[in-house]
Amino acid sequence: MSGDGDDFADLFGDKARPLGHGPARVDKRTKPTVRGKRTSEAAGPKFRWPDPEDPGCAAAEGVSDRQLFALRRGDPEPEERIDLHGTRKDAAGPLLAKRIRSAQAQGLRCLIVIHGRGQHSPLGEAVLKDSIPGWLTKGATGHAVLAFAPAPDRMGGNGATLVLLRA
C-alpha cells in the first residue's frame, strides 16, 4: 500500500491486531481415545425389516432375503424350544436372553420361542409377542441373533418366533 492512509492499520486504527498462527496442528497418525462403549455396540447390530408393517420378521446385516424367507418356512429346523407362554413380561426378557446365550454356547443354530398370541391376556394384547423384536435386536442378545421370523403354521404360527443364531 502506498502510505496515503489506505493500509489496514490506518483504516481500522487502534483496534487492528495481528492474527495468530491459527489452530495447533493435529498429528493425523494418532487416533483420539474414546472412553466407554460406542453407542452402536451397546445397542447391538443393525437389523432390517423387509416389511415395515411386520415387526416380527427381521434380519441383521449380511442375511439375505432368501435366508430370511427360508427361516419363515421353518428352514433350518429349530434345535431347541424356549417356552415363554404364560411368563410375565418382566421375567420373560431376561429368561429369553439367558436361554439364547446358553443355546449359542452349545453351538445351536436355530431356536423356536413360544410366546403365544395374547388371546388370554387380560386386555387381549400380545404383550410377549410384541416385546420379542426389541429383546432380539438390542444389547448382547442382538449380537447373538442373525434373524427372526414368525413360525410357520405347523410350528405355532403367530404364537411362535423362529430365531436364527450367529455361529
Convert the pLDDT of each residue in 59-97 to its tens digit.
999 999 999 999 999 999 999 999 998 899 999 999 999
Per-residue pLDDT, averaged over 9-13, amounts to 65
Q: What is the pLDDT of residue 165?
A: 97
Q: For the chain, which domains are there?
A: 48-165 (3.30.1370.110)
Query: Comparing 14-23, 52-61, 65-74, which segment has the lowest mean pLDDT?
Result: 14-23
Does an H or E element contain 105, and which? helix 89-105
108 neighbors 146 (Cβ within 8 angstroms): no
110 neighbors 68 (Cβ within 8 angstroms): no
Predicted TM-score (pTM) of this structure: 0.72
Does an H or E element contain 94, and which? helix 89-105
pLDDT tens per residue, range 90-149: 999 999 999 999 999 999 999 999 999 877 666 667 889 999 999 999 999 999 999 999
With cut-offs at 50, 70 and 90, classify the pLDDT of residue 40: very low
118 neighbors 124 (Cβ within 8 angstroms): yes
Alpha-carbon radius of gyration of the chain:
28
Among 54, 83, 67, 62, which residue's Cα sits nearest to residue 150? 54
